Each structure stands twice: as C-alpha cells, then as structure tokens.
Amino acid sequence: MNEPLGRFGRKLAAHWPAVAIFAGFIMLWQLAVSFLGIREYLLPSPMAVLRAMFGDEIPWSRHIWVTAAEIVGAFVIAGVAGVLLGVAIAWSSAWANALTPFLVFVNTLPKVAIAPLFLMWMGYGILPNMLIGALIGFFPVVINTAVGLKQIDQDIVDLGRVFNAPKWKVFMKIRIPNAYPYILSALKVTATAAVVGAIVGEFVASQAGLGYVIITTQSSMNTPVAFAALVWTSILGLLLFGFVAALSRLLVPWAEDV
C-alpha cells in the first residue's frame, strides 16, 4: 500500500524542477496577460488556450491525426535512411569520400526555402510533408551512426578478427551495437526535426493538420486557437521524444545519459 505512493513520491522528487519551470512559465504568462492588458489576438491567456484546446470550434482529432502521421513518417524515413547512409560511410572510406560532400550540401540547404518546390514536384498531402521532415532530420543520424560505428575499442574488433569473423559479421555483432547510443541520441534530434518539417510542409500547402489550423486561424486573428494548435503540436513532439528516450533506456541502459 505504501510502496506505489513511495514510488510516486520519488518520481515527483526527481521531476519537480521540470514541473516548476513549466508552472512558473505559465504563471508569468497569465500574469503578463492579466496585468499588462494584452489583447487576446496578440497574446491569449493560458486559460483561453486551454479552452481552445478542448473546445469544439476545431475538429482536433482529425488534424492531430494528420500531423502525427506526417511526424512519424518523417521520423521513420529519416531514421532508416540516416542509418543506412551512416553504415555506408563507415563501411569504406571510398563510400565516405563519395557521399559526405553531397550529404553536407543537402543538409545546408535551407529547407524552409525548398518546401515550396516540393509542392511543385509532388503536390500537397501527407507524403511531401513527411519528406520535408525527413530531409530536415536525417543528417544527425547519418553522422552519429558513422561516428558510432567507427569509434570502437580496437581490441574488440581485433578479437573478431582472431576468430576469422567476416567484415559484415563484425559490423552486425560488434560495430552496430556499439553505435546504438549514438544513433539513439541522434534520433532525439530527429524527433523534433520531424515536427518542424511537418509544420513547415503544412504551412506551404495543406488541407488538414495542426500547421493548417495555425495558419488558418492566424489569418482570422483567432490567436487562442492558433496557440492551442501549437501546444498540441509540441505534445506530439514530446511524445515522440519520450518514445525515443524510452527506447534508449530499453536498448542501451548503460548509456542512458546520451
């Protein structure tokens, strides 16, 4: 009887600073709105945003669903493509020399400026928005995968060689598990990049989604609803981030801090 409460208490003790920062932020926000007399269309109060989040002015579930699909899609594409490219770069220096300059070039392109071109090439919808998110988020995975595969205790690799393990087996059994912490920490960055990509894509062209709600309601000065959509968006981002963090704890409990 006492134990779950104790566990909860321990959790609270561990997380109270994070909770306090959120609470303090919301309190300051509410006070600023109340005492400075800021008009709602410029900055709505936290209460107004909360009401909008659970109000029936907007069919939230539909928009959340569309944006969630785009975020998850972008995350998966970026993750898979990033790991594959990272493996290619770590596999041989020839591949690394061939691929790296082009990948760096793609990564430095400002994605916000490219997004309208995606509309021309692919039309609008969930898929182009996934690709924009993937384009923003794949690079850290490539780099971290390559680094994780290469930065390895040479003794372990030598041990594999002693037993005559082929190169691919050394990769599968030694190098890839070694790279897990690196890949997972890159995926945390990708999780937030996927959110940015989905919203950028929806800003350019869309018929549904949280970015669509933001742009539509902003244009009619319905700022509380725009803020509500922002909060829903960041909740989606937090969930994905939390998923990656949980995955890290599961796969690489020894390296939870990365």
Nearer to another protein, 42 or 250 (CB): 42
Residues in 209-228 that interact with another protein by CB under 8 A:
212, 215-216, 218-223
Nearer to another protein, 136 or 204 (CB): 204
Shortest separation between residue 56's beta carbon and another protein, angstroms: 13
Cα–Cα distance between 103 and 78 in angstroms, integer?
13
Query: 């082929």: which residue's tokens?
Result: 166
Could you tell me if 141 and 89 are in contact, meaning their C-beta atoms sit under 8 angstroms apart? Answer: no
Least Cα distance to 226 among 67, 43, 27, 66 occurs for 43
Nearer to another protein, 47 or 221 (CB): 221
177: Cα separation from own chain's centroid:
22
Q: Where are the alpha helices (DSSP H) in 37-110?
A: 46-54, 60-91, 93-108
Nearer to another protein, 93 or 219 (CB): 219
Would you count residue 58 as binding another protein (CB under 8 A)?
no
Q: Which amino acid does the sequence have at 16?
A: W
212 sits in which H/E element: helix 210-219
Per CB under 8 A, the list member of 59, 123, 177, 242 interacting with another protein is 123
Shortest separation between residue 75's beta carbon and another protein, angstroms: 24
Would you count residue 207 as binding another protein (CB under 8 A)?
yes
Nearer to another protein, 170 or 228 (CB): 228
Would you count residue 120 as binding another protein (CB under 8 A)?
yes
Could you tell me if 74 and 131 are in contact, meaning their C-beta atoms sit under 8 angstroms apart? Answer: yes
Would you count residue 30 as binding another protein (CB under 8 A)?
no
Cα–Cα distance between 17 and 146 in angstroms, integer?
35
Shortest separation between residue 131's beta carbon and another protein, angstroms: 16
Residues in 80-119 that interact with another protein by CB under 8 A:
116, 119
Per CB under 8 A, the list member of 20, 40, 246, 256 interacting with another protein is 40
Shortest separation between residue 47's beta carbon and another protein, angstroms: 16
Nearer to another protein, 24 or 123 (CB): 123
Shortest separation between residue 69's beta carbon and another protein, angstroms: 17
**Rounded to whole angstroms, what are the CA distances from 154 to 142, 146, 157?**
22, 16, 5
Would you count residue 45 as binding another protein (CB under 8 A)?
no
Cα–Cα distance between 203 and 49 in angstroms, integer?
21
Cα–Cα distance between 39 and 239 in angstroms, integer?
32
Cα–Cα distance between 166 and 157 in angstroms, integer?
11
Nearer to another protein, 16 or 41 (CB): 41
| Interacting residue ranges for another protein, rule: CB under 8 A | 39-42, 116, 119-120, 123-124, 202-207, 212, 215-216, 218-223
